[in-house]
Amino acid sequence: TASEWGYWGKYGPKTWSELCATGKRQSPIDIVTEDAIRIDLGALKFDRYDFAFSGSLINNGHTIQVKLDGVPIHLSGGSLPSVYVLEQMHFHWSAEHTVDGVRDPLELHLVHYNNQYANFSEATQHENGIVVVAVLFEFNNYDNPDLMPILETTKIVSNWVGKNMAQMRNKLIPLLLLPKDHTTYYSYEGSLTTPGCQESVMWFVMTEKLPISEAQVNVFRHVQNSNGTLKYNYRPKQELGNRKVHHRLE
Ligand code: SG4
Ligand code: ZN
């Protein structure tokens, strides 16, 4: 069916052309740090990110996605035109954005939509509809304890034949999944990185990276779907074209 897509083989990204918007602002990209324009767009304001949330995980066959319960979490600042509401978070292994050609083992996407639109899917139809904050994780030789609530539940939903949705046993504090310096970032105008690749996303890729161990990345690499093991789930880099990447430094 037309909705069938994957990350390699006969349903891989090379075959997405019928499913994807083909424009001039596709994602992900390679961030060339030397070419980034240093400019103060203002700090991002992460509202209620410091609360402890219960939530659930879903293995949707393309990624592991986290949905938090309770009060809405808001993102603003950074020259954004309005307030953006956190919709969900999910992971890519390996990372989708590369920095000076380096691909890290994991990238977290915190997906938000513009609260001027009725809902998330309506927002994807507008050029300022979506903001994704991306956090890169680099290998280190110790476990990152802040990923524990997600990883323990990933193990439960990773067996596709069993249940693909589960409550997290421990609460999650989203702020702990952001680097300490969460006000320094690269930003550019792009798209969703999966079909239909709508060109509605303002990307904020955090400059500072977080640590993850090899054993922790392996939990993601063992996620199953109907075709077997989801060994990796990143879209290859897209052309930057005429776009500029901005680098916010304080
Ligand atoms: C993942 O496949 C998520 O599961 C999708 O969320 C998400 O699509 C997609 O990634 C693209 O998001 O930040 N990588 S990205 O550009 O949010 C949407 C769902 O399928 C539409 C709900
Ligand atoms: Zn993503």
The answer to whether the CB of 175 falls within 8 A of the CB of 181 is: no
pLDDT of residue 64: 98
The answer to whether the CB of 151 falls within 8 A of the CB of 93 is: no
Any ligand 1 atom below 6 A from CB of 26: no
Any ligand 1 atom below 6 A from CB of 63: yes
Region of residue 134 (left: phi > 0; alpha: psi -120 to 50; beta: else) = beta
Does residue 28 have a cis peptide bond before it, meaning omega lies within 30 degrees of 0? yes
Any ligand 1 atom below 6 A from CB of 60: yes
Give the CA distances from residue 236 to residues 5, 160, 200, 239, in Å, rounded to whole numbers and listed in that order.
14, 25, 19, 10
Residue-by-residue pLDDT tens, the chain, 250 positions: 446 899 999 999 999 988 997 789 999 999 999 999 999 999 999 999 999 999 999 999 999 999 999 999 999 999 999 999 999 999 999 999 999 999 999 999 999 999 999 999 999 999 999 999 999 999 999 999 999 999 999 999 999 777 799 999 999 999 999 999 998 999 999 999 999 999 999 999 999 999 999 999 999 999 999 999 999 999 999 999 999 999 998 7
pLDDT of residue 3: 62
| Cα angle, residue 248 at apex, residues 131 and 43 outer, rounded to 5° | 65
pLDDT of residue 2: 44
pLDDT of residue 21: 76
Q: Kindly report the number of other CB atoms within 10 A of residue 14's CB atom.
A: 10
Q: Which atom of ligand 1 is nearest to the CA of 96?
A: 14
CA pair distance 123, 39, nearest whole angstrom:
27
Q: Is the ipTM of this complex over 0.90?
A: yes
192 CA from centroid of ligand 1 (Å): 7
Beta strands in the chain (DSSP E): 30-31, 37-38, 44-47, 55-59, 64-68, 74-77, 84-92, 98-99, 106-114, 130-139, 165-167, 185-190, 201-206, 210-212, 224-225, 228-229, 246-248
Q: Which atom of ligand 1 is nearest to the CA of 193?
A: 16
The answer to whether the CB of 234 falls within 8 A of the CB of 244 is: no
* Main-chain dihedrals φ then ψ at residue 151, nearest 5 degrees: -65, -40
Nearest ligand to residue 203 Cα: 1
Any ligand 1 atom below 6 A from CB of 193: yes
CA pair distance 100, 97, nearest whole angstrom:
10
Model's pTM, two decimal places?
0.97
